[in-house]
Structure 1
Amino acid sequence: MTLVKICGLSTPESVAAAIEGGADFLGFVFYPRSPRNVTPEQATELTKPVPAAVRTVALTVDADDALLETIVATMRPGLLQLHGHETPERVADIRSRFGTPVMKVLSVASAEDVAKASAYEPVAGMLMFDAKPPKEMKDALPGGNALRFDWQLLAGAHFGKPWLLAGGLTPDNVAEAIRTSGAPGVDVSSGVEDAPGRKSIPLIRAFLKAAKAA
């Protein structure tokens, strides 16, 4: 069955809906520019009811050691999601320094972007492929832009680590995305929102139902 990550959670209601719908991963964003940004203290409260079978994920963007240390010490996430320009060396250092599994996100617009995954496979526990914002899109966030890339770029691909597909996914297209890309897991944020940063409980439920049935 497809693994599903609901990202950018910021309210107890959205966390509860994700858990009840069968999400495998719950993502919390630590990036001030994002409308989904939370503090380590807020995330700690939000994750208190999360069962052990569901992994909590802390999303950071080129975070320094001080922020990562605070997040790990306060929230104790099951996974650190690195959504910036972190090099393989930086990923290895973070994994070693903080003793927490790491998921590296790769921004994709071409086959060359997908190929970069090979450098991260030895150091990351998981991979994610998200849409690369176009250069003309000013002030774009690293993710959560409701953009999709060509899912065919991943069709038939094999990676040494588990991976998730992200970028522009919605309850209406996630089944097609899984079929086209062959993704073993998917990630959604803006696709289950009524407005930037405001999660929709019905959309969370619909996305989980569609993804799990695909």
Structure 2
Amino acid sequence: MCRSCLCFRSASTGFSDKLARFDHPGFRNRPLTRVKICGITNLPDALAAAAAGADALGFVFYEPSPRCVNIDAAKTILAELPPFVTTVGLFVNAEQAFLESVLGRLPLDLLQFHGDETEAECRQWGRPYIKALRMQEGLDLVEQCQTYHSSRGILLDAFVAGKPGGTGQVFDWNTIPPGLEKPIVLAGGLDPSNVGAAVKQVRPWAVDVSGGVEAAKGVKDHALIKAFITGVHSVSE
């Protein structure tokens, strides 16, 4: 099967398409920050997030993560989602055969790479992608934006040695340089108590949360999801 022919879900105004149009003058200064709820493992959580106003849902295909979801479960969830909710697949240094299996069975809109994947490795699948970068000392974000020039955006997360993401740690937002050429998806320890301040300071294109809206690992707290999204919208309208 031709990778470039793998079908997208019909979400013409979805999260990935908005990223694609970021450079259009009408969107460059658009104030509303988007919300991605990551680590979805079951249908009730997915539907609750969509009902609360989530723009995108993230599905983790990385076995060491407590939020990992198998292909069959993800397929069931995706089949029940309402329209205009973007689906994102998260991978960490995945084997090519595994990625082919996932993409051959799931109509994911956007890919999210959290490992050491090169720009060519991210791009080869013929789907829009974002590249996660962990904010460690010495990281040059301007250079990284140029390196991953084919990405739709960059996701900024806290650096914790040995952990590719989902750490629950907040990094210093002051280390983000202004004027980056890629849309920023802000992650790292966000929750209902701090997301408003994060949006006010960073003005990211989107925010990404997982553990900050959980009742337990891999199980979302629906009230926290609502509070998180309300917190974002209250300062970005």
Common fold: TM-score over 0.5 = yes
Any conservation in 1 of the 2:42–2:73 contact (CA below 8 Å)? Answer: no
| Residue 61 of structure 2, aligned match among 17, 30, 47 | 30
Distance 2:111 2:229 in 1: 22
Query: Which residue in 2 is equivalent to 1:128?
Result: 155
TM-score, structure 2 length as denominator? 0.81
Partner of 1:99: 126
Give the superposition deviation at 1:111.
Answer: 5.9
**1:43 match:** 74
Q: Find the residue that maps to 1:211 and give its secondary structure.
A: helix
Corresponding residue for residue 78 of structure 1: 109
User: What residue is the counterpart of 1:145 in the other structure?
Assistant: 167
SS in 2 for 1:15: helix
Moved more, 116-125 or 58-67: 116-125
Consecutive aligned runs of 4 or more in structure 1 exceeding 3 Å deviation: none
The structural deviation recorded for 1:81 is 0.5
Q: How does 1:176-195 map to 2 (within 5 A)?
A: 176-195=197-216
Q: TM-score, normalised by structure 1?
A: 0.89
Q: 1:179 to 1:47 in 2, by over 3 A?
A: same
Q: Distance in 1 between matches of 2:147 and 2:78?
A: 28
CA distance in 2, matches of 1:5, 1:120: 24
SS at match of 1:4: strand
Is there any run of 5+ residues in structure 2 with no aligned partner, and where?
A: 1-31
Q: How many residue pairs end up in the alignment?
A: 204
In structure 1, the partner of 2:88 is 57
2:179 matched residue in structure 1: 158
Q: Which amino acid counterpart does residue 167 of structure 1 have in structure 2?
A: G
Aligned to 2:49: 18
Contact 2:184 2:205 in 1 (8 A): yes
C-alpha RMSD of matched pairs (Å):
1.6
Between the aligned partners of 2:62 and 2:135, the Cα distance in structure 1 is: 21
CA distance in 2, matches of 1:200, 1:113: 36
Q: Contact 2:142–2:180 (CA<8 Å) still a contact in 1?
A: no
User: Offset of 1:65 from its aligned partner?
Assistant: 1.4
Question: Structure 2 counterpart of 1:54, which letter?
Answer: V
Instruction: Report deviation, 1:35.
Output: 0.6
Identity of aligned residues (%): 38
Q: Which runs of 5+ in 1 are unaligned?
A: none
Q: Is contact 2:145–2:154 with CA below 8 Å preserved after alignment?
A: no
Instruction: Determine helix, strand or coil for the equivalent of 1:112.
Output: coil
